[in-house]
Amino acid sequence: MNKFWKWLERKLETKDDLLPDKADVVIAVGIDVSQDGKSAGPYSAAVAQKTLELFKNQKTDSLLFTGGYSFNNGLTEAELIYNLVAGQIQAWRVFLEIQGYRTYLNADFTLSILQAHELESAIIVAQQWHARRVRATFKKRWTGTGIKIYVIKAHSEYGGGSQSRLDHFISFFLWDTLAFIVSKFKGYC
């Protein structure tokens, strides 16, 4: 991506929240799978790596991977991003949420997991452009729960996933902005 598009993206993307010393859980929001559906796409892979980094830096003791989208009836985003880090994290520290194939569903289904385990704070990791909608959606859907949320970005290159409309910053910007507007209109965020 040339310098202008990188500059524009940095100007338009949401800022990271200031993180607490430690949160009850880090939530990795999947966004895509590979073109063949057998592994995490580059966006989800970046989210997995950022999530693992937070775990290794002792920002949490538990991880939650969310994403129900699958390509060609393969594994879900959540399962595929977990597979990238599985050997480095004890399985008992991990929650998988595999039903949420839309951002508002990710928020709803992860909320029920947090409430069931009485977790009160979450760092949410999302792809750099998707983070804007993730923040708005989780904040709205979790209003009144008392759960503290902190959203940060996982930076990735564009392209390489199963959703070709997300192969470039400008197309990602247009599609996600449209999704953001529709989500606002429908009351999801």
> Any idea where the domains of the chain sit in the sequence?
23-186
Name the fold adopted by 23-186. Answer: Rossmann fold (3.40.50)
Burial call 133-169: b when 16+ CB within 10 Å, e when fewer: bbbbbbeebbeeeebebbbbbbebebbbbbbeebeeb
What are 51-100's pLDDT values in tens digits?
A: 999 999 999 999 999 999 887 778 999 999 999 999 999 999 999 999 99
Please report how the helices 103-116 and 131-141 are oriented relative to each other, as an axis angle in degrees rounded to 10: 50
Question: CA-to-CA distance for 53 and 76, rounded, in angstroms?
Answer: 22
Statement: residue 162 has pLDDT above 90 = no
Statement: residue 166 has pLDDT above 90 = no
Question: CA-to-CA distance for 100 and 107, rounded, in angstroms?
Answer: 8
Statement: residue 1 has pLDDT above 70 = no
Please report how the helices 42-56 and 77-85 are oriented relative to each other, as an axis angle in degrees rounded to 10: 50
What are 20-50's pLDDT values in tens digits?
A: 999 999 999 998 888 888 888 899 999 999 9
Which residues are 56's β-sheet partners? Answer: none
